[in-house]
Amino acid sequence: MRYPISIRLLFLWWAFFGASTPVVCQVVAKFHAEHAGVHYTTYLTIDQLAGAPEWRDEDPNPPLDVRQAMTAASAGLKLLFDNADEWKLDLVTLKPMRDRWIYVVSFVAPLSPECKDCLSFPFILVVTMDGKALPAEISPATVQPAVVEEN
C-alpha cells in the first residue's frame, strides 16, 4: 500500500525533527552554548523538572549541594569534549524554574598556546536537583551537508 504524499512528508518531517527533540509543549526552557563553531542546545522538560527534588522554603540548603552539581556538570562536559579535564570552571548559578531549582554551570575552554589576547565564551551545562547533567545536543543549524569531492 502506498501512502499519499502528505502522509509521507509528515512522516519524514517527524523522523527528522520530532524523533530527536522533546515535544515542544513539554519544554520548560532551552539553553544554548557554542564551542568551536558548533551550536549546542539543552532542553529542560516538565518531566525532568518534576522528577527532581523540590527545594522547599523551610530547607536552608538545596537538595543537591554545589560540589555534587559541579561533579555532574564535569561528567557531562567529558561526554562532549575529549579535553574536558583542561577546561576551567567559570560559574555555578542557582536558577529558579517554576516550582523547582536548577544549577547552571559554566566552563571555559582552554585557549590555544599561540593565542594570548583571545576571548573564550563560557559553555553552559544544566544540572537538575537530582544530580543529572542534562545532555547538550548539537543543534540542527550546525549540521552542514557533507562535501563530496570528485576527482
Q: C-alpha cell of 94? A: 542557582
pLDDT given for residue 64 in this prediction: 98
pLDDT given for residue 12 in this prediction: 46
**What pTM, to 2 d.p., does this model score?**
0.75
Q: Is 128 exposed, middle or buried (0-12, 13-18, 19+ CB in 10 A)?
A: buried
Cα–Cα dist 69/74, whole Å: 9
pLDDT given for residue 141 in this prediction: 60
Distances (CA, A) of 140 to 17, 35, 37, 84: 9, 15, 13, 23
Closest CA to 99 of 49, 27, 29, 25: 49
Domain ranges of the chain: 27-138
Dihedral angle over CA of 134, 135, 139, 143, nearest 10:
170
pLDDT given for residue 142 in this prediction: 60
- Mean pLDDT in consecutive groups of 10 residues from the start of the chain, 151 residues: 53 48 71 90 94 94 97 97 95 94 96 79 95 90 51 45
Residue partners of 42: CB distance under 8 A and separation at least 6: 30, 31, 32, 33, 124, 125, 126, 134, 135, 136, 137
Distances (CA, A) of 93 to 19, 72, 105, 106, 132: 31, 14, 6, 9, 15
